Chains A and B, each alone.
Chain A
């Protein structure tokens, strides 16, 4: 097993703010997951409450469906938050943008829950949802701010450049003619030596289109170029 050889420059050190943002985002996801589970447990009480209000046993079906929908949304949001947290920590710029979008949505939902207070029928669940909403408001706001800070921006840009540079280096390493190009065996004459390796690497945003993959000659060496047996 050979040791890994890095390509290109190392990415910048991850700022504490990015780490905190990613961790808080994952925490929000954890709370949403907990809230979703608790909501599923609360369904029988809501169903009964609404049935009693309407004096109709079937009147609780609607609210049951709504709660299931709500819990499903919370599950999905929680999963997305955890994924984004991981990618944020890795410095993926797309994840940062997605986090802002998700954070905005979460803040909106949390505000709506606090203002509309739709869970009044079951006291314990209402308390839980208010707590989760407040936590979401606080943590998501902090996440949004932290990810938007200058140090975070530098980190995400740095990672992007490092990744691009590394990609170019890896590309070049992959397709550059190896220095140890096979030499003609002793006694053989080289008629058309291979071209010299490129001096400049591909420019950012304008990479040279890759040439055909290099294949070792399968038949006898050409007589007009390359190398052949001495005559």
Chain B
């Protein structure tokens, strides 16, 4: 009886699992949540943003040309546009015809308008003087920068107008009789985006649409306009979701104007470029590639975005901040001047009204920019790729930060360079005895290679500063040296020190990435300034003693300089990218990542050096200095003409290995309690970690554009049917095992027992 019960229970268990599976098939699966409908949603206290919302689309007109189709001829200084070529005389002629136009000017965005503005820029005396002093290459660069500035301003204006029209039409403002973009009055040239007019200078309801970055003062100006015109309602629409801090600021602002009923919305939408029929070429790819598409870095690639190999760059504050970062104060002033001029040309009172504001990040020092966070979000077709964030030191009192574009491009290019090339190529070597072993050939085509080689040269030069006899340290150093010539000859090179990171499995925070300077005594065959090779004329004991003095007094200073001095900022920047890339490389060994195909490919053609350079030039500069004593210190050791050069330094930089130590969760949480939140929010807006002096600028690459409506395949892990079916065989096996285990042993039975028929073997 007991045996039958066991059999029965095992069978029942198996059947139960089977029935559960069948029941799941029969019972209809609950439908997955439908994407939220398109349209704006309220933000602020008490409002929850919808999940999985498909953005709307709005049309954006384009200028009559693309910046990359207006080319500058270095030799003739002519501007080509398709088959048309404009020399200076022709540009001047077009300028003179301007007054014959209906509005005494050409339409903003036309080729004629560009050329006349270029003419106007050229004839300004200070610009003409600067232009006269430029080389052909500098002039070409100047033209490119000027044109990009013009194009970005007009593009901003077109996008702003497109978003305003979307808001007005989809939200019914237009249908209700709101006026779009009209001046308040003849005297008041301010133009609200949408306004329901109640009098000559009065409105009852104002609407503001912000398609780009914004600051609280811009919103405040709309409140002021509402007060001024008697409006009691103000709606503000944002294309990009503000951060929580931004929302709080808006709510505080609204509280300052209790007489105005205000509402804040986010309207997710994506611009769709309408190609101007006058353009010659296809629109440039603006999907983003700071690290350059296969065709190479282009003027339209958002700098600093870790985007390559088919990935898409999501809109991010980092690319905006870098793109809008001028290279110098002069460039910033010039850009502002052009923005104001274009706004006036378009008939607006200010660039804000014209939606031409280009927000430039202030309060930071871009020279300290480093890639300090990277996250692998790629999980096999679910649409993500890489999240990343740069840290920048805060700099109080800096209204506009300069050099962000260049720094970010270097960091991003270096990241991909470190991924693409094998690690044994990450070395540079400045040794007068080895002119044929300066740098790996492929590595020598990249900016990362340039930075390493220049850092090697810079390290040798900075030693001269430390040991200069006129300095306190230098005097003491020379005093302690032994030997008649006080000679020292050694190899000194830079290697990574153990980096402190927080490796969270799929994400990496780089908390500290120090470098170390190593030295060892060696003797060269080449003759230096003193005319002897190495320290051949000096007793070995003296030379070794001198090396110890150097290691004790000078080496720590060199190492400190490498880790903190501005001259080595680029080296630290590319090294931080090296740490991030090494983590990404190792992670890609265990799973497929967005850039698995790039790793170890050896192909760095997509990330060529953005500055013309030749490793041989750096080597020649070093050899010249070595032989002529430019940075090898000369010291008069005797009266008379006897001069001895006593320091020979050579070495290199090697980034073969990246030792790292991951802090544990508890320590990370204790020492950086807000870092994770700050980095997460940096994907939306520049953020500061509470209590820290660093600003985080985040970005994201995605396998598909974020608005891609293609549904992702659902993971079966949330499917009970999957669990029932896949566990059924194992459950059945276990049930049979239990049954057999508990079954009483049967008596051994002879074969063929009870057989009555023919028997065969």
- Measured CB to CB, the residues of A under 8 A from B are 3-13, 19, 23, 26-27, 29-31, 33-34, 37-38, 41-42, 44-49, 51-53, 55, 78, 117, 120-124, 126, 162-164, 166-167, 169-171, 174
Interface string of B697-740 (1 = CB under 8 A from A): 00000011000000011111101001001111110110011001
Question: Is B758 on the interface with A (CB-CB < 8 A)?
Answer: yes
Question: Which of the 9-residue segments B271-279, B491-499, B548-556, B747-755 touches chain A?
Answer: B747-755
> A23-B740, A38-B722, A120-B590 in contact; A11/B748 too (CB < 8 A)?
yes
* Docked pose: A3 CA to B751 CA in angstroms: 15
Contacts of A49 in B (CB 8 A): 380-381, 592
- Do the beta carbons of A120 and B381 come within 8 Å of each other? no
Instruction: List 14 A–B pairs whose Cβ atoms lie within 8 Å, in order of A's numbering.
Output: A6-B749, A11-B751, A13-B748, A23-B740, A38-B716, A41-B722, A120-B590, A121-B380, A123-B379, A163-B751, A167-B751, A167-B761, A170-B759, A174-B759
Contacts of B725 in A (CB 8 A): 37
Given A8-B750, A30-B729, output 15 extra A-B contacts at Cβ < 8 Å. A5-B753, A5-B754, A10-B750, A19-B740, A30-B730, A34-B726, A37-B725, A41-B716, A41-B719, A41-B722, A41-B726, A44-B714, A126-B591, A162-B751, A163-B761
A68 CB, min distance to chain B CBs, angstroms: 16
- Do the beta carbons of A26 and B733 come within 8 Å of each other? yes
- Partner among B380, B704, B727 whose Cβ is within 8 Å of the Cβ of A45: B380
* Docked pose: A124 CA to B749 CA in angstroms: 48
From A89, which residue of chain B is reached at the shortest CB distance? B740
Question: Is B310 on the interface with A (CB-CB < 8 A)?
Answer: yes
- Partner among B310, B733, B751 whose Cβ is within 8 Å of the Cβ of A7: B751
A177 CB, min distance to chain B CBs, angstroms: 17
Contacts of A37 in B (CB 8 A): 725-726, 729
- Do the beta carbons of A27 and B733 come within 8 Å of each other? yes
- Do the beta carbons of A34 and B380 come within 8 Å of each other? no
Question: Is B760 on the interface with A (CB-CB < 8 A)?
Answer: yes
- Do the beta carbons of B381 and A52 come within 8 Å of each other? yes
From A50, which residue of chain B is reached at the shortest CB distance? B381
Contacts of A10 in B (CB 8 A): 748-750
Contacts of A55 in B (CB 8 A): 310
* Docked pose: A44 CA to B597 CA in angstroms: 22
- Do the beta carbons of A9 and B750 come within 8 Å of each other? yes
> A30-B729, A45-B715 in contact; A11/B759 too (CB < 8 A)?
no
* Docked pose: A21 CA to B329 CA in angstroms: 80
* Docked pose: A124 CA to B719 CA in angstroms: 13
> A37-B725, A37-B726, A49-B380 in contact; A164/B761 too (CB < 8 A)?
yes
The tally of CB-CB contacts under 8 A between chains A and B is 120
B466 CB, min distance to chain A CBs, angstroms: 50
Please report which residues of chain B, range 668-696, place their CB below 8 angstroms from some CB of chain A when the two chains form the complex.
none
Contacts of B715 in A (CB 8 A): 45, 124
B207 CB, min distance to chain A CBs, angstroms: 40
- Measured CB to CB, the residues of B under 8 A from A are 310, 379-381, 590-592, 597, 703-704, 712-717, 719, 722, 725-730, 732-733, 736-737, 740, 748-755, 758-761
From A8, which residue of chain B is reached at the shortest CB distance? B750
Chain A interface SS verdict (over half): helix
> A8-B751, A23-B740 in contact; A45/B591 too (CB < 8 A)?
no
A28 CB, min distance to chain B CBs, angstroms: 9
* Docked pose: A110 CA to B727 CA in angstroms: 20
- Do the beta carbons of A6 and B592 come within 8 Å of each other? no
Contacts of A11 in B (CB 8 A): 748, 750-751
- Do the beta carbons of B380 and A167 come within 8 Å of each other? no
Chain B interface SS verdict (over half): loop
- Do the beta carbons of A23 and B737 come within 8 Å of each other? yes
* Docked pose: A171 CA to B760 CA in angstroms: 8
- Do the beta carbons of B751 and A124 come within 8 Å of each other? no
> A26-B733, A34-B726, A120-B592 in contact; A48/B381 too (CB < 8 A)?
yes
* Docked pose: A23 CA to B358 CA in angstroms: 72
B548 CB, min distance to chain A CBs, angstroms: 51
- Do the beta carbons of A44 and B753 come within 8 Å of each other? no
> A7-B753, A27-B733, A44-B713 in contact; A171/B759 too (CB < 8 A)?
yes
From B590, which residue of chain A is reached at the shortest CB distance? A120
Contacts of A33 in B (CB 8 A): 729
From A122, which residue of chain B is reached at the shortest CB distance? B380
Contacts of B753 in A (CB 8 A): 4-7
From B711, which residue of chain A is reached at the shortest CB distance? A48
A130 CB, min distance to chain B CBs, angstroms: 11
From A39, which residue of chain B is reached at the shortest CB distance? B726
* Docked pose: A223 CA to B755 CA in angstroms: 37
> A23-B740, A34-B729 in contact; A42/B755 too (CB < 8 A)?
no
> A4-B753, A124-B717, A166-B752 in contact; A31/B592 too (CB < 8 A)?
no
- Do the beta carbons of A52 and B703 come within 8 Å of each other? yes
- Do the beta carbons of B380 and A166 come within 8 Å of each other? no
B714 CB, min distance to chain A CBs, angstroms: 8
- Do the beta carbons of B730 and A45 come within 8 Å of each other? no
Contacts of A6 in B (CB 8 A): 749-753
* Docked pose: A176 CA to B296 CA in angstroms: 95
Contacts of A120 in B (CB 8 A): 590-592
- Do the beta carbons of B750 and A7 come within 8 Å of each other? yes
A209 CB, min distance to chain B CBs, angstroms: 14
* Docked pose: A10 CA to B761 CA in angstroms: 16
**Most chain-A Cβ atoms within 10 A of its Cβ — which of B590, B703, B712, B748?**
B748
* Docked pose: A6 CA to B591 CA in angstroms: 61
- Do the beta carbons of A48 and B750 come within 8 Å of each other? no
- Do the beta carbons of B726 and A123 come within 8 Å of each other? no
* Docked pose: A10 CA to B729 CA in angstroms: 34
From B713, which residue of chain A is reached at the shortest CB distance? A44
- Do the beta carbons of A4 and B754 come within 8 Å of each other? yes
- Do the beta carbons of B591 and A123 come within 8 Å of each other? yes
- Do the beta carbons of B729 and A162 come within 8 Å of each other? no
* Docked pose: A164 CA to B736 CA in angstroms: 31
B719 CB, min distance to chain A CBs, angstroms: 7
Minimum-distance CB pairs A-B, first 10: A4-B754, A6-B750, A48-B381, A44-B713, A30-B733, A170-B759, A33-B729, A49-B381, A41-B716, A121-B380
* Docked pose: A198 CA to B231 CA in angstroms: 125
- Do the beta carbons of A170 and B755 come within 8 Å of each other? yes
- Do the beta carbons of A34 and B730 come within 8 Å of each other? yes
Contacts of A7 in B (CB 8 A): 750-753, 755, 759
Contacts of B761 in A (CB 8 A): 163-164, 167
- Do the beta carbons of A46 and B380 come within 8 Å of each other? yes
From A54, which residue of chain B is reached at the shortest CB distance? B310
Contacts of A78 in B (CB 8 A): 729
* Docked pose: A121 CA to B717 CA in angstroms: 15
B745 CB, min distance to chain A CBs, angstroms: 9
